[in-house]
Amino acid sequence: MKQDANVSLKPTIQFEQNKHLFTKSEQKIHHYITTHQDHVIYDSLTELADHCKVAEATALRFFRKLGFSGFQAFKLAYAHELTQSKPSDQSVGYTKQIKDNMINAIEQSFQLVDQDELNQVIDCIDQTEDVVVFGIGASGIAALDMQNRLMRIGKNISVVTDTHAQIMRATSATDQTVIIAISLTGSTKEIIDNVNIAREKGATIIALTNYAKSPLTKLAHYILLSSVKENPIDRGSLVSKISQLFLIDLICTGLTIKNNDEAKRIKREITENTTNKIF
């Protein structure tokens, strides 16, 4: 009964209908999910497998046995089912809630910053002329912001958001290439596949992600973590992008400080060249 993700397939019903078929490993997964309902929808497949002490392949087979195409499809359906079963809390105004969420995203991401790792990332980007950023969807928007920021200090980078173009760019990578992969989940298949191609070509991989344990971090030489983990129903939220932009700001500011004189010159010339474009 394998099928693509769709929220009409209810995980709790699938559990009941299939639990007599569960292996010992699958029983561990089922137990973890049912006792950690509010946490499992924020896990990566790697984290789930670690929590349950099973192989990732075993976990993936479990979700396919239930009828889902994979863990992400299961999470989407499970989050939808949990949302329907819980009354919405209207006691806090949504404007304050959004403000608090953004503040928490930055504060928690700040707590995760490894200064040594950040410095190595900055040095790595500074020392090469072939820097490429991979991002899809909302992460692609963050990648374009990074490109804009770095152009203002004279550091030109490429951003590739089309998956087929990413394949071509990854294939032409060399040991002088730095690939910055932006992925909130660290589990986007196209990003993983294309980063893997680039790594095999000798490229250095920098991951900007929310998950310390994910398929992307396994491929990365350097990892910068943010802390906001999205509910599958709310993907692409502004709060998530704020956490990504925070990491990007750290990198761009670090590069600006490292190349202070050149950055000032470029900024001054950009200002002079754009002055006559403003009424």
Give the CATH number, domain containing residue 117.
3.40.50.10490
113 and 173 inside one domain: yes
The list of the chain residues with pLDDT below 70 reads 1-8, 85-92, 229-237, 278-279
What is the C-alpha separation between 1 and 266, in angstroms, rounded?
59
**How many domains does the chain divide into?**
2
51 and 119 inside one domain: no
Structure tokens at 101: 């969420």
Give the CATH number of the domain where residue 49 resides. 1.10.10.10
198 and 137 inside one domain: yes
Residue 16: closest CA among 29, 28, 3, 30: 30
Please report how many Cα atoms fall inside a 13 Å half-sphere around the Cα of residue 110, on the Cβ side: 6
What is the C-alpha separation between 104 and 14, in angstroms, rounded?
35
Backbone angles phi, psi at 97, to 5 degrees: -65, -45
Is residue 221 in a domain?
yes
Residue 205: in which H helix or E strand, if any? strand 204-209
What pLDDT sits at residue 86?
60
What pLDDT sits at residue 1?
40
**Residues spanned by the domain of 243:** 94-277
What pLDDT sits at residue 234?
59
Is residue 254 in a domain?
yes
pLDDT digits (tens, 9 = 90+) for 70-98: 888 898 888 888 777 665 555 557 788 78
207 and 72 inside one domain: no
80 and 216 inside one domain: no
